[in-house]
Amino acid sequence: MKVPENTLKKALVAGRVQHGLWLTTGSPVAAEIAGDAGFDWCLIDGEHGPNTITDMLPQVQALRATGTPVVVRIASAEVWMVKQVLDLGVQTVLVPMVDDAAKADEMARAMRYPPDGIRGMGALLARASGFGAVADYPTAANAQMCLLVQAESAAAVDNIDAIGTTQGVDGVFVGPADLSADMGYPGQPDHPEVTKAIEHLIARTVAAGKIAGIVIFDESQFQTYADMGVTFLGVGGDALVLNTALRGLATRVKAS
């Protein structure tokens, strides 16, 4: 066996827009349905979804069966959280609340084995190595890791050039909701000052030659962000889609 190629990273590095879905229900069935739906990636949300490491495993397995690349957003920028999801076999990780280059560097080192990083040497026991079937996993895995750090504060806006040029950071993902709140405009991600900050974050990320990402639920804005250079583009969420569809169905049934 060989370390699987990170096809999502390959596509993003090549500049191809990859559309993905947020998974927040904690359901392997929802993950399987989403994986078969045709998205370029699916993200298991460990920050705002009810997903512990144990909950993530069956979703990772379900998505693998569909062939859709898996991304995991961990709950916090902690080295041990990175280690756990990588050992599950996840190759692309989104880390929230990265405000400066020091934290970005710590996360980059957490993603990779020595000498390039500090990832713990537990591959023999991990799903990531096929439980030891990939003999060269510790030496081959680093090249397939993809780290996206989340810029979602005024501090991150100020530090974007240092964050974006940090070695081992593959991309910067903008979090509009938290960014708007931190800037003093909670619930107003479309406020002109917030929009200006978002555009700045994306522009500086693209200028650094890194992957730019964002999640937007307004379909009319998808092309706008793609034109800005966003290639890691979140376009919806399982809970939101399900809620909208079920409420719409109930309304139509009652109206008829």
pLDDT digits (tens, 9 = 90+) for 102-161: 999 999 999 999 999 999 998 889 999 999 999 999 999 999 999 999 999 999 999 999
In angstroms, the Cα distances linking 49 to 26, 52, 192, 234 are 7, 9, 29, 16
Residue 163: predicted pLDDT = 98
* Coil, strand or helix at 167: coil
CA torsion 39→44→45→46, rounded to 10°?
-170
- Residue 12 and residue 71 in contact, taking contact as beta carbons nearer than 8 Å: no
The arithmetic mean of pLDDT across residues 59-87, rounded, is 98
Over the stretch 165-196, which tens digit does the pLDDT of each residue have?
Answer: 999 999 999 999 999 999 999 999 999 999 99
* Residues classed as catalytic: 48
CA-based nearest residue to 18, from 215, 214, 232: 232
Over the stretch 151-169, which tens digit does the pLDDT of each residue have?
Answer: 999 999 999 999 999 999 9
Residue 1: predicted pLDDT = 85
* Coil, strand or helix at 199: helix
User: DSSP secondary structure string, 103-133?
Assistant: HHHHHHHHTS-TTT----S-GGGSGGGTTTT
Helix axes 79-87, 101-110, angle to 10 degrees: 30
- Residue 119 and residue 168 in contact, taking contact as beta carbons nearer than 8 Å: no
CA-based nearest residue to 232, from 13, 23, 6: 13
Q: Give the pTM.
A: 0.96
Asked if the model's pLDDT at residue 233 lies above 90, the reply is: yes
The domain 7-255 having CATH identifier 3.30.750.24: the answer here is no
